[in-house]
Amino acid sequence: MATDLIPRVKGVRDFYPEAWALQKWLRETCIRLGAGFGYQEYEGPVMEYLDLYLGKTSEEIVGRQTFRLSGRDEKPLVLRPELTPTLARMVAQQEDRLVFPLRWQSYGRFYRYERPQRGRGRSFFQWNIDLLGSDTLHADVEIITIACELLRTLGLSPDQVTVRLNDRQGLESHLIRTLGLPSDRIRPLFAIVDRIDRMPFEKFSGGLEELGLDTAQIDGLVDVLESKDPVFSPRLERVCRLLEMNDVSEYVEPDPKIVRGFDYYTGVVFEAWAKGSLRRALFGGGRYDNLTLQVGGRKPVPGVGFAVGDMAITELLTESDLLGHLSAPIAELLVTVFSEDTAEHAAAYARLARSHGLTVELGLKPGQRLDRQLKYAHRKGIPFVTIIGPDEIRSKTVKLKSLATGEQTELPADNVGKLAERIRNTRKR
């Protein structure tokens, strides 16, 4: 009796070998870039207590986008939607033993319960890179420079992506001073500004009215957000100047609408925005100087960093035809098995070939017709096969066959190094 196929969970992906090759390439590209700036890899747990996120990240994530679990100790757990609170907890737990400034990076899987769409899913991979222990603007500049260098490394030009940046603290001071906004309105105000590109103006202004802003204040805020001179702090001005010295200013554009939706940001923030049909934020980050205190640390540890999800950036790379062809690794050699009597010889030769650094598959059906074994290797993309039959065993030789050219060469069975050299020379060509 046939069983109905169980579907994949909504919003998650299967990674067949070719798709996993792309994921590995993206991970290696990010980690290699971070390592070039001195960032060490680390990792945190996939599950955290819900308390770690309450009041420290956005209300939207905590309230509507977390996957919640029930632990046996009855304290609510979540599958991690982001990594920064975990990083702060880890640093706070060993703040007296760590050597600052820390340069850490991680590439792992995250979960958010949101509506699946192009460039967004419920399970995704994310590169996190953070610099902790320095409150200088040079730390801000280093992190933003790495973000721009990632785009450059991936082949994305300033015509395709813009890194928009702002200083939350500078903008907050400007709004309080020029519009007379009370300081306790800034946090909910920024939550509305963060969604300005995703809502009609009527809804935007209606949200501001609910906060108690009058018409003059709303008009003044709009003027600020659309300013032709959008730098509202000396720090941001210096950051922009240093980014120019770092040769990445072509990617950068000050934008007062960039405030980031997470509650823990305290200073310079930024987002990379795609300009093509995707037209959305690819990734973002910024400065957070109080988060370790919020998770129980004894002293403030200033931090700045950003995170890149794999889905949106992959969509843009695909749209821009920048991925090329990434294939999953395949074996270089198939050792065919002539018969049950020769199976042990074939297995021993496969082991010997692996000891010389080759990737080797061994035939699993002794007695299967040779043409079927060759056909399997051809379909799989394995470039070479060896044939070890009774004649080869008696003469202590193997036959090496190239499936690309059909050329067949007889080699001494005890000189696997020569066979490995032939295969590697073909690989180089």
Question: What is the per-residue pLDDT for 42?
Answer: 98
Q: Distance of CA 224 to CAs 93, 159, 219, 239, Å?
A: 41, 25, 9, 20
The residue out of 319, 345, 375 marking a domain boundary is 319
Locate 216 and state its tokens.
């003059």
The single-letter code of the amino acid at 266 is T
Question: What is the per-residue pLDDT for 116?
Answer: 84
How many structural domains are present in the chain? 2
Paired residues of 401 in beta bridges: 385, 408
Task: Please give the Cα distance from 303 to 84 (Å, whole number).
Answer: 10
Q: Are residues 300 and 384 in the same domain?
A: no
- Provide the domain limits for residue 407: 333-428
CA atoms within 13 A on the CB side of 384: 23
The residue out of 268, 291, 319 marking a domain boundary is 319
Q: What CATH number is attached to the domain comprising 339?
A: 3.40.50.800
pLDDT in tens, 95-125: 999 999 999 999 999 999 988 888 789 999 9
Task: Please give the Cα distance from 38 to 54 (Å, whole number).
Answer: 32
Sequence-ordered list of residues with C-beta below 8 angstroms from that of 316, at least 6 positions apart, any chain: 119, 156, 160, 161, 274, 276, 278, 282
Q: Are residues 68 and 145 in the same domain?
A: yes
pLDDT in tens, 278-323: 778 999 999 999 888 888 888 889 999 999 999 999 999 999 999 8
Q: Are residues 193 and 105 in the same domain?
A: yes
Q: Which of 118, 120, 42, 117 lies closest to 81, judged by CA?
A: 120
Question: What is the per-residue pLDDT for 427?
Answer: 67
Q: Are residues 150 and 31 in the same domain?
A: yes
Report yes or no on 2 lying in a domain. no
Q: Which of 17, 79, 75, 95 lies closest to 45, judged by CA?
A: 79
Paired residues of 130 in beta bridges: 104, 305
The residue out of 319, 344, 373 marking a domain boundary is 319
Sequence-ordered list of residues with C-beta below 8 angstroms from that of 150, at least 6 positions apart, any chain: 29, 30, 33, 308
Percent of the chain residues past pLDDT 70, beyond the cut: 97
Residues of the chain with pLDDT under 70: 1-2, 55-61, 71, 427-429
Question: What is the per-residue pLDDT for 217?
Answer: 92
Q: What is the mean pLDDT of the chain?
A: 91
Question: What is the per-residue pLDDT for 426?
Answer: 76
Q: Are residues 123 and 49 in the same domain?
A: yes
Statement: the pTM of the whole predicted model exceeds 0.85: yes
Report yes or no on 328 lying in a domain. no
Question: What is the per-residue pLDDT for 428?
Answer: 61
Question: What is the per-residue pLDDT for 59?
Answer: 67
Question: What is the per-residue pLDDT for 331?
Answer: 95
Q: Are residues 167 and 304 in the same domain?
A: yes
Q: What CATH number is attached to the domain comprising 283?
A: 3.30.930.10
